[in-house]
Structure 1
């Protein structure tokens, strides 16, 4: 799932030890530092990570704004999956991009948004953040997101991964942007938001579905489904007996 794509010459320049650092391995209860200050590409003003998240479940995409390989389809496919969830950006969830290369400026971030997202309603509420090396390293270190710059080819080897954060900034899931679909992403956002997004039907679905980390999708939990079905059967029988007893007394 966490495929790493970069120009072919980069593979020859990076050592095996360096490539081994290109992973996503957050610690249990990993927490994004919400006090980190970045620059918002859209407005050109300082913005703390807590403001970008806005107290909502957040899909965080670490990207290279000048990358012409994996980052473009990552953003495009993430946008399409978010649109297919039926949830509203800026109300039910946040989409936050963080540039991995501190040399990229706000113009590069806006250019990627304009060219690759292609969804005005989502793009208008997407936060594309640019920060210095210290801020980027602190954020990725806290989230267990490893990447390696290759100065020889001016590229960055990094995992093709999205981090789903809770409204408090904790890592809830690691998702593959290249394999997202609307249904699974909706359930993931509802789960990360602890029911603040979506509706009752989504929360009931989560009772019967669990996230399969190996496949990156939500799959039925047979034991839980059987338990819910058994409980519903017992309730239905109890209501039936109650109605029959009332009719008998009336007769």
Structure 2
């Protein structure tokens, strides 16, 4: 199956609008054409611009995307730092899944939050990061980036990440999607942060790490598991497993015949 098809399936699985208002229930005023632009559908060769500069809410000052990735497999979460509907549980579930991987942030992988609303400041970014990621240790390792409209547009365009502002509710419709990047900025997977678990996320990070993350056991596990973009899960590759089992059985039979044929016959 072509990679573009996998991305389209991942987009449908991950799509979730975040439309809230500060007072009263949500009242989305977007039409179908506008909502059709809300998607996480990167091109097959999608790559983020590593030289793009953002404000670093955690450490102060500015940083480039390349520095935020640190050459490691990266889980990037585009968020609205003032969204209290989907973004809060999205970060909480991501933090829980990352803790269950057994991998160490800042050593085995990078975690990068990127604000999609240019009006959000560093204080809002820090509040969401510190409140929702679960543990102070993980929050301290996560980069929380804020940028102007031009920087946000360039990054989201590179990611194929579409979102729409709803003036009626002063909020954004955006996908609840996690972008898994390789150390050099290539988009490896689109994951649903609302359905992450430790095993699948570990396998995804090991795969994106391209040999620099995880151990031999993880890489052997990837030989038996494949990513199913329709479900967002790593599932056993039954044909590969059955093929390997059949080959092992044939080899064992051949070896047994060879051993028996070389045994001296009794008179």
- Does TM, scored on the shorter chain, surpass 0.5? yes
The within-5 A match list for 1:1-251 is 1=13, 2-7=15-20, 9-11=26-28, 13-233=29-249
Residues 139-148 or 238-247, more deviating = 238-247
Over 3 Å counting, the alpha-carbon distance change for 1:30 and 1:235 in structure 2 is same
Q: What is the alpha-carbon distance in structure 2 between the residues aligned to residue 58 and residue 245 of structure 1?
A: 56
Q: What is the alpha-carbon distance in structure 1 between the residues aligned to residue 64 and residue 19 of structure 2?
A: 30
Q: What is the alpha-carbon distance in structure 1 between the residues aligned to residue 249 and residue 144 of structure 2?
A: 50
CA contact (8 A) 2:19 2:169 kept: no
CA contact (8 A) 2:69 2:112 kept: yes
Over 3 Å counting, the alpha-carbon distance change for 1:57 and 1:242 in structure 2 is farther
Deviation at 1:193, TM superposition (A): 1.0
Tell me, what secondary structure is at the counterpart of 2:141?
A: coil
Structure 1 residue runs of 5 or longer lacking an equivalent are none
Deviation at 1:6, TM superposition (A): 1.4
Q: What is the alpha-carbon distance in structure 2 between the residues aligned to residue 230 and residue 121 of structure 1?
A: 46
Deviation at 1:57, TM superposition (A): 0.6
Tell me, what secondary structure is at the counterpart of 2:39?
A: coil
CA contact (8 A) 1:10 1:155 kept: no
CA contact (8 A) 1:10 1:150 kept: no
Over 3 Å counting, the alpha-carbon distance change for 1:154 and 1:228 in structure 2 is same
May I ask how many residue pairs the two structures share in their alignment?
Answer: 247
Deviation at 1:150, TM superposition (A): 1.6
Deviation at 1:242, TM superposition (A): 8.4
Deviation at 1:88, TM superposition (A): 0.6
Q: What is the alpha-carbon distance in structure 1 between the residues aligned to residue 99 and residue 19 of structure 2?
A: 28
Over 3 Å counting, the alpha-carbon distance change for 1:90 and 1:232 in structure 2 is farther
Tell me, what secondary structure is at the counterpart of 2:132?
A: helix
CA contact (8 A) 2:18 2:83 kept: no
Instruction: Normalising by structure 2, report the TM-score.
Output: 0.87
Structure 2 residue runs of 5 or longer lacking an equivalent are 1-12
Q: What is the alpha-carbon distance in structure 2 between the residues aligned to residue 85 and residue 187 of structure 1?
A: 9
Q: What is the alpha-carbon distance in structure 1 between the residues aligned to residue 234 and residue 260 of structure 2?
A: 41
Deviation at 1:105, TM superposition (A): 0.5
Q: What is the alpha-carbon distance in structure 2 between the residues aligned to residue 102 and residue 56 of structure 1?
A: 26
Q: What is the alpha-carbon distance in structure 2 between the residues aligned to residue 247 and residue 204 of structure 1?
A: 37
What is the Cα-based RMSD across aligned positions, in Å? Answer: 1.9
Instruction: Normalising by structure 1, report the TM-score.
Output: 0.92
CA contact (8 A) 1:53 1:167 kept: yes
